Chain A
Amino acid sequence: NAGVTQTPKFQVLKTGQSMTLQCAQDMNHEYMSWYRQDPGMGLRLIHYSVGAGITDQGEVPNGYNVSRSTTEDFPLRLLSAAPSQTSVYFCASSYRQGNSPLHFGNGTRLTVT
Chain B
Amino acid sequence: AQSVTQPDIHITVSEGASLELRCNYSYGATPYLFWYVQSPGQGLQLLLKYFSGDTLVQGIKGFEAEFKRSQSSFNLRKPSVHWSDAAEYFCAVGAGEGAGGTSYGKLTFGQGTILTVHP
Contacts and interface: CB of A to CB of B under 8 A. Distances in A.
Interface in B1-50: 4, 6, 9, 32, 34, 36, 41-46, 49
B112 A58 contact: no
B116 interface: no
17 contacts: A31-B105, A35-B109, A42-B112, A43-B107, A45-B108, A50-B105, A96-B104, A97-B104, A98-B96, A99-B49, A100-B104, A101-B49, A104-B44, A104-B45, A105-B43, A106-B41, A107-B41
A35 B42 CA distance: 14
B101 interface: yes
Contact of B101 (A33, A96, A102, A106): A96
Contacts of B36: 104
Q: How large is the interface on B (under 10, 10 to 19, 20 to 34, 35 or more residues)?
A: 20 to 34
Contacts of B102: 50, 56
Interface of B: 4, 6, 9, 32, 34, 36, 41-46, 49, 51, 90, 94-97, 99, 101-112
Interface of A: 4, 31, 33, 35, 40-45, 48, 50, 56, 58, 90, 92, 94, 96-107
A100 B46 CA distance: 11
B44 A58 contact: no
- Counting from the closest, the 8 A-B pairs by CB-CB distance are A104-B43, A42-B109, A31-B105, A43-B109, A104-B44, A98-B104, A106-B43, A99-B51
